[in-house]
Amino acid sequence: VVSGGPQATFTGQVAWRATVPAQSPLAETRVSMGPGRHVVSYPLRDGSMMNLVAVEERAAWAEEGWQQSGDPEQLRAVFGDFGGPVGPLLDRVTQVGVWGLFRHPVAERWVRGNVALLGDAAHPTLPFLAQGANLALEDAWVLAQCLCNGTVQSEYQRLRRGRAVRVIDAAGRNARKYHLREGPVRSAAHFALGLGSRLAPGQMIRQFEWIYGHDVTQP
């Protein structure tokens, strides 16, 4: 064992995932929000397919295993009140998987003897900034550099753990923003998010510059 630690805990959220044929080649990436739920849709395969990730809050995840196949009719029932382009996308779902989303803290220790952790083994993240695979690739680059320099024991975890914690905390906060319940706080937050993305899309992106602009290959 490189790093012990607590068991993963259920976050109270499940993610439905499906791919459907796109209807328009101009398909765009979109986040649609509702109380306790949100739907992310984005194009795949040069816009010929759309990927759907629909997250809802649930009291418990009782099924065995962390992934189950779901019922498209149930998906449509849960998200049926979403307007805009979500409805037509859901109508085209014929197969869907559903995942319980679990939280596990970032490992305290990443290296023991000749074994080093990277990616999800060191820091599983919730999917709300789409950074899990990216963090794993960044780890791999830094670990390779440390192997070349003979500095795995002293440098690898030091160079990577802080960033992993920061990104994962930001992903957790995003879920809370998206899922705000009815009320003035939700109205104000969603109004600001919607207005911001329409009037100043550059500003919306810039707040994540520290994530998306980070180039781990640069010293």
In terms of CB distance, is 114 or 199 closer to ligand FAD?
A: 114
100 strand-pairing partners: 14
Q: Which is nearer to ligand FAD, 17 or 160 (CB)?
A: 17
User: Using CB under 6 A, which residues numbered 15 to 74 contact ligand FAD?
Assistant: 15, 17
- Token duo for residue 16: 């439905």
Q: How far apart are CA 98 and CA 68, in angstroms?
A: 5
Binding-residue pattern over the window 88 to 127 for ligand FAD, x denoting contact by CB under 6 A = -----------x-------------------xxx-----x
Q: Between 90 and 138, name the residue whose CB sits nearer to ligand FAD.
A: 138
| Choice between 191 and 212, CB closer to ligand FAD | 212
Which residues in 156-185 contact ligand FAD (CB under 6 A)?
none
Catalytic residue among 42, 156, 178, 212: 42
Binding test (CB under 6 A) with ligand FAD, winner from 45, 74, 91, 133: 133
Active site residue 42: yes
Residue 56 in contact with residue 84, Cβ under 8 Å? no
Q: Which residue, judged by CB position, is nearest to ligand FAD in the bound state?
A: 119
- Of the pair 7, 150, the CB lying nearest ligand FAD is at 7
Q: How far is the CB of 184 from ligand FAD (least distance, A)?
A: 32
How far apart CA 31 and CA 41 sit, in angstroms, is 7
Shortest distance, position 152 Cβ to ligand FAD, whole Å = 17
The 3-state secondary structure of the chain reads CCCCCCCCEEEEEEEEEEEEECCCCCCCCEEEEECCEEEEEEEEHHHCEEEEEEEEECCCCCCCCCEEEECHHHHHHHHCCCCCCHHHHHHCCCCEEEEEEEECCCCCCCEECCEECCHHHCCCCCCCCCCHHHHHHHHHHHHHHHHHHCCHHHHHHHHHHHHHHHHHHHHHHHHHHHCCCCCHHHHHHHHHHHHHHHHCHHHHHHCCHHHHCCCCCCC
Q: Shortest gap between Cβ of 140 and ligand FAD (angstroms)? A: 8
Shortest Cβ 127–ligand FAD spacing (Å) = 4
Q: Residues 49, 130, 180, 189: which binds ligand FAD (CB under 6 A)? A: 130
Please give the positions annotated as active site. 42
The site for ligand FAD (CB under 6 A) is made up of: 15, 17, 99, 119-121, 127, 130-134, 136
